[in-house]
Amino acid sequence: MGLVLGIVSLVLLLLQVLLIARAVLDWSVVLAGPSVQGSVRSRVTAAVFAVTEPILAPVRRALPPLRLGGVGIDLAFIVVFLAIILLRAVIG
């Protein structure tokens, strides 16, 4: 049973890293502008979004972004990230 929990914890850690990468890549668009199609950043962004979006989309449908003036805060990202932290704490 310990091996299974270790693997689940590792998968959750990798998902956590991918979520952090998604946040950094989102901010890279704000700071550096949109990426050129076919560039490394474009391909990495597409891969990270392909892995994380199926997890975030259902939560985002249930919990829409919080609008504060002209800024939107993605609550789904925060909820999923905190849920992963809690799951890893319970497992480990």
* Nearest in space to 47 (alpha carbons), one of 83, 86, 14: 14
Token reading at 44: 């990495």
3 state SS of 43: helix
Structure confidence at residue 31 (pLDDT): 84
Query: Which regions of 7-83 does DSSP assign to beta strands (E)?
Result: 66-68, 71-73
Structure confidence at residue 85 (pLDDT): 96
The tens-digit pLDDT sequence of the chain (92 residues) is 789 999 999 999 999 999 999 999 988 888 888 888 888 888 999 999 999 999 999 999 999 888 888 888 889 999 999 999 999 999 87
What is this structure's pTM? 0.86
Supply the DSSP symbol for 17: H
Structure confidence at residue 28 (pLDDT): 87
For residues 80 and 56, the answer to whether their CB atoms sit within 8 Å is: yes
